[in-house]
Chains A and B, each alone.
Chain A
């Protein structure tokens, strides 16, 4: 037994949240500093853990397992594979950036900023826990519980329609979660009838579930993940939530938290229900392609910048899901890498738009124009983040997009072609956004735009650096991820593009 990395990574932010909440009234700045300090400590710890993980080289590491509720077979079971560790690292690195971006946002709403910072730390703890969970119920509990802090973050600090957005967010996700709960219980009962009732992922993967049961359970899981990810037609909560949340919070929501949905697909739904995943893959691919095109088209038509970015996220989540359900190593590795890259690019876009909103006090494209002249660094940052999001070669998302498309094309040719169209549309919405807000003569409203301040540059710099680094040299991360997705694909076991499901397996005689 070595150092319990994962428990530490869960406990430190959770403890930080409690400490931040306990800071007495009147010392709000201290509370913020404390929260940021803890987020930085967590970030350093995740980076150390990731480096340790890569240097060790084993496929699954940091395994911890303690009985939690013995009569139900629930375990505090944690472990990191390539997929988990890369998302944990993303969470760890993004959190302090987002907290720094929130520094002034909370005050802008004339609200006590303390709960804001405490809730983000709590959310971080739950996210890391969900990415590391090797027990299905533990995952489920965190998956559901993290709705509560996000609900308060949107509802307490957002824009004028925040109440509506927060309730919509919660109800959509709660409904998905409850359907998933039925499937989780169904899975448990399967385990109980085949020997021992347990929620341990490893034991559940080893079960031999009849195909028709697999279908229902798979659909139950996918329903929740498709809402969280979000996949068309379950996406409608995201634009509202992202538009009403403060920009930094929207960044955290779509950049990190929604990754739990796609993570659930690749890390739970595929290995638990391989036969069902094979059977439903074509249908899900269709939904994913619709998401890509629909998200991109709607993004082009948006007048609200935050809504625009939300729709681009829907489009990009479509690509991630497409890669996962291509069911081959390029697709899966590309999709996982895309989760990380999309997190970085979206967070960058949202925080930069947040800087613009702070200056102009409006989130509508039409209120900007010609801002590049007074604020060249701001404009450059927006362009850089935008180009990353649209998949410019040399920046991080390109590599993952390319892998997803290669993987898809080898199995679903038409889907691959249509997805590529989506990428062309991406260029359109990003460049239109840049053109309308930044280029041209400076308007009255933007003439006095101050350029990025020191704190803002500190936020943008690491994001730019990471996007560049992962764009030019993705190999270390890709190796880790590639190793992480291998066991999943082995479980699904799709050989050639024409999979013939063996008729004997799982069918009741």
Chain B
């Protein structure tokens, strides 16, 4: 019995983030309250940047490490880099304190009852909840591990590590706390269900293959005849667990409620980073372990992709809350990414990688803009409040319009290049029907994006309308990063496309 070999150098990005999360917990215990917020933020940002540097250093690595539990390869590193960057941008929004007059977007004491005396005292004392940062770092760590996990157990652990902190974060909104807590509970219950599905599917697949390693599962696919029932049931259940995390129909029902109830910076973080991590894991498991079953799972993905796009685009039409509308839009986008996943080749992987990055930056930016439009009750998320925003604040409305145009896939924005990549990969793989459904739903989706632009620019502002708050430098920088990425990936997508193409091979 020899000691297991761990490739510390290759796993460094994850180790840094998890380490920072653990240190963050210690900071909560030992650093005086006044200094805590600054220390936590600095620690988290520094860790994310350091981890990103390590990811860049590792580029080109292709190993299976940690006794086969973790793969460090192109897709994993690409997605880890994207998650780290987007998390860093999200943290800037977490730290925003000017909008709430010294407070941030989180309840000062998550355990205090909404409306209670204890809550009022905490608000009056201007207490800031700095546990948010270690929680976020744990979630980020899980997200880094999720697309890199090379066996089902590691994948499940990563899934739980990324999910549990998010359940908590979703319930911590400073305003509308009951809505937020309801969202957290919903997310937790349904998330626990989906985890159970994943776990059960894992057990069935283990029963078939006798191993949880993805490459071992792949090797046994052709070897055991007569037990496919077990295997296919397992594949189906695992798919349910993953589809839940990416918010694909019919497993999407939590998305609008959670996106609406969670503190908006958390929503942006969740919408962008969870989706990236989950799609990475999905692609890895279905390409590496179940690649030989392609003909079995592709029809299922077809149905889910079509359903997801249609539900996302059509239901979004009826929404009158900005956050809910963005939630349905993110569902529709999950459908578009699934088109790329269905293609199931390197072209498809590369297109998925690019799409996720393009979508991630636009999403984080869009939710950050939502935090700026406020009235006396906090964020004014009802769409009617956004009427005439273009008159009152052309810059903010223009930035939001840019993100909406990117979501709609208008050329010269990142969204167009993403759609082009995904659709061409799908046509190349023969999925013409999916692409046509994708184009029709894009047209439907364009309608509600355009509706918001009409509202902002072509409608007279309401007399008692919300104001556009001036954010602190961090939020401004974060939004500027989102805008720059959206425009740059639209006009000069070459470098990132090339990177995605080089990174598109999974190590086995």
Contacts and interface: CB of A to CB of B under 8 A. Distances in A.
What's the interface size class on A, roughly? 20 to 34
A71 B498 contact: yes
Counting from the closest, the 4 A-B pairs by CB-CB distance are A141-B411, A178-B439, A155-B458, A144-B411
Given A71-B494, A166-B454, A186-B427, 15 more contacts: A68-B494, A71-B498, A71-B501, A72-B421, A72-B424, A147-B410, A155-B458, A174-B408, A178-B439, A181-B420, A182-B435, A182-B436, A182-B439, A185-B424, A186-B432
A185 B423 contact: yes
A360 interface: no
A185 B427 CA distance: 8
B412 A188 contact: no
A427 interface: no
Interface stretch (B4-12, B114-122, B442-450): B442-450
B296 interface: no
Contacts of A72: 420-421, 424, 497
Interface of A: 68-72, 137, 140-142, 144-145, 147-148, 151-152, 155-156, 162-163, 166-167, 170-171, 174-175, 178-179, 181-182, 185-186, 188-189, 192
B187 interface: no
Contacts of B443: 171, 174-175, 178
A240 to B, nearest CB: 15
Interface string B382-418: 0000000000000000000000010010111000110
A388 B187 CA distance: 68
B428 interface: yes
Contacts of B436: 182
B234 interface: no
A182 B438 CA distance: 10
B486 to A, nearest CB: 14
Interface of B: 405, 408, 410-412, 416-417, 419-421, 423-424, 427-428, 432, 435-436, 439-440, 442-443, 446-447, 450-451, 454, 457-459, 492-494, 497-498, 501
Contacts of A175: 443
A142 B416 CA distance: 12
A54 to B, nearest CB: 33
B405 A148 contact: yes
A61 B11 CA distance: 56
Nearest to B428: A189
Nearest to B499: A71
Contacts of A178: 439-440, 442-443
B424 A188 contact: yes
A498 B493 CA distance: 48
Given A71-B498, A155-B458, A192-B428, A182 B423 contact: yes
Contacts of B432: 186
Contact of B459 (A148, A163, A179): A163
Given A148-B405, A167-B450, A155 B457 contact: yes
Contacts of B416: 141, 144
B411 A140 contact: yes
A152 B410 CA distance: 14
Contacts of B424: 72, 185, 188-189
A137 B457 CA distance: 30
Contacts of A192: 428
B427 A145 contact: no
A188 B405 CA distance: 24
B227 to A, nearest CB: 38
B430 to A, nearest CB: 10
A165 to B, nearest CB: 10
A151 B458 CA distance: 11
A362 to B, nearest CB: 23
B454 A181 contact: no
A365 to B, nearest CB: 28
A259 to B, nearest CB: 19
25 contacts: A68-B494, A69-B494, A71-B497, A71-B501, A72-B420, A140-B411, A155-B457, A156-B457, A162-B458, A163-B458, A163-B459, A166-B454, A167-B447, A171-B443, A178-B440, A178-B442, A179-B439, A181-B419, A181-B420, A182-B435, A182-B439, A185-B423, A185-B424, A185-B427, A186-B432
The A contact surface, by secondary structure, is helix
Contact of B427 (A70, A148, A189): A189
Given A174-B443, A189-B424, A70 B494 contact: yes
B402 to A, nearest CB: 10
B445 to A, nearest CB: 10
Contacts of B410: 144-145, 147-148
Contacts of B494: 68-71
Contacts of B440: 178
A181 B498 CA distance: 22
Contacts of B419: 181
Given A148-B405, A185-B423, A185-B435, A167 B454 contact: yes
Contacts of A148: 405, 410
Given A141-B411, A144-B411, A145-B411, A170 B450 contact: yes
Contacts of A152: 457
Contacts of A144: 410-411, 416
A340 B398 CA distance: 35
A145 B428 CA distance: 25
Nearest to B501: A71
B153 to A, nearest CB: 36
A148 B449 CA distance: 13
B411 A156 contact: no
A69 B414 CA distance: 13
A331 B432 CA distance: 36
B297 to A, nearest CB: 23
Contact of B447 (A140, A171, A179): A171
Contacts of A188: 424
Nearest to B447: A171
A410 to B, nearest CB: 39
B131 to A, nearest CB: 44
A34 B29 CA distance: 62
B446 A166 contact: no
B455 to A, nearest CB: 9
A181 B423 contact: yes
Contacts of B405: 148
Nearest to B419: A181
Contacts of B411: 140-142, 144-145
Nearest to A152: B457
B454 A163 contact: yes
A163 B453 CA distance: 10
Contacts of B497: 69, 71-72
A185 B442 contact: no
A178 B446 CA distance: 11
Contact of A156 (B427, B439, B442, B458): B458
A147 B408 CA distance: 13
A147 B449 CA distance: 15
B439 A181 contact: yes
A136 B169 CA distance: 47
Given A178-B442, A178-B443, A70 B458 contact: no
A141 B427 contact: no
A148 B457 CA distance: 13
Contacts of B450: 151, 167, 170-171
